[in-house]
Structure 1
């Protein structure tokens, strides 16, 4: 059973219950959203929520699961017009004692765990920090307005013809050469 009054944390791991999950809810105010938008290079961050629970796992571990919801505004990479994006994503982290992540012997090789959600268990679990990281990973790298069309650009010296895709293909001229060598049978022109 999850506790009735969700907190935003951070939660001291020593104080977390060992037999039941604890709920959390992080809803930053406007000034915190503005600061995060600036940090992430966004035009705006209209809504941001992160709700979930921290559940004890085994004797000394914890599993954080939550749902991140955000509405953000970025510049279109083509037109620089504002683009609004809605993000809804599930987030999970497994906190395990550092001894379970470290090699048994000093000087032994360290392999990266396959599970990307594994985190070393510290003195506290901070849902707000997890929310910041998850949002940073979910922000679209190349936002594009629906009506934006990239026409392409070319760069060539004055008076030179632009290079076409066909010019870059190594065998593009062979058909014409074959036609010239065989007397025009392949439609390549006169020999």
Structure 2
């Protein structure tokens, strides 16, 4: 998949320094960002910068830590107006040379989702694209936009609302009739 990405900053593992960090600063062109926006299915990636370092962890392992700084545009899920979102987060990936292979029969999702097997090439561009995809708001909303309440029902009958179908919704009213205080009153 890394070959299909519009941004790439590859670092062959064999060439990485084993005693000191290797610093990088991925800056993108307007064309790179337009292709990335199309790949992610969003309106635009206005800015994208991925700056950090790859440092050795022991003899054969490496850690990538970088700051992702981006501004993206997506349509509002309510009104389809453009919504600008600033994304700023620190991304960490640990590449381990002797990461145990999971059994094919049983596989647990590890708690540490930053650990990966050591590849031949660490592509900072691919890591940036993945981190951006994971950071995108799933349901962007323009300021002041609210989802309305949809109420459906057969003709001639009162439609059911969320409040009416809650099994304990009427208990507060019943407690008030009986003169007993509710949790909110005590």
TM-score tier after normalising by the smaller chain length: 0.7 to 0.9
1:115, 1:159 → 2: CA distance? Answer: 55
Distance 1:173 1:127, change over 3 A: closer
TM-score by length of 2: 0.81
CA RMSD of aligned residues (A): 2.6
1:174, 1:9 → 2: CA distance? Answer: 61
Residue 131 (structure 1) aligned with residue 100 (structure 2): no
Q: Which residue of 2 aligns with 1:120?
A: 117
1:51, 1:37 → 2: CA distance? Answer: 20
Mapped contact 1:48–1:69 kept (Cα < 8 A): yes
1:125, 1:11 → 2: CA distance? Answer: 5
Distance 1:118 1:149, change over 3 A: same
How far residue 121 of structure 1 moved from its aligned partner, in angstroms, is 0.5
How far residue 62 of structure 1 moved from its aligned partner, in angstroms, is 0.4
2:131, 2:41 → 1: CA distance? Answer: 15
Give the ranges of 4+ consecutive aligned residues of structure 1 lying more than 6 Å apart after TM superposition. Answer: 173-177
How far residue 174 of structure 1 moved from its aligned partner, in angstroms, is 8.2
Higher relative contact order (CA 8 A, sep 6+): 2
Number of residues of Structure 1 aligned to a counterpart in Structure 2? 170
Q: Which segments of 5 or more consecutive residues in structure 2 lack a partner in the other structure?
A: 1-7, 179-186
Q: How does 1:31-180 map to 2 (within 5 A)?
A: 31-97=31-97, 99-102=98-101, 111-170=108-167
**Secondary structure at 2:71's aligned position in 1?**
strand
Q: Which segments of 5 or more consecutive residues in structure 1 lack a partner in the other structure?
A: 1-7, 178-184, 187-191
2:33, 2:107 → 1: CA distance? Answer: 38
Mapped contact 2:99–2:116 kept (Cα < 8 A): no
Q: Which residue of 1 aligns with 2:19?
A: 19
2:162, 2:106 → 1: CA distance? Answer: 48
TM-score by length of 1: 0.79
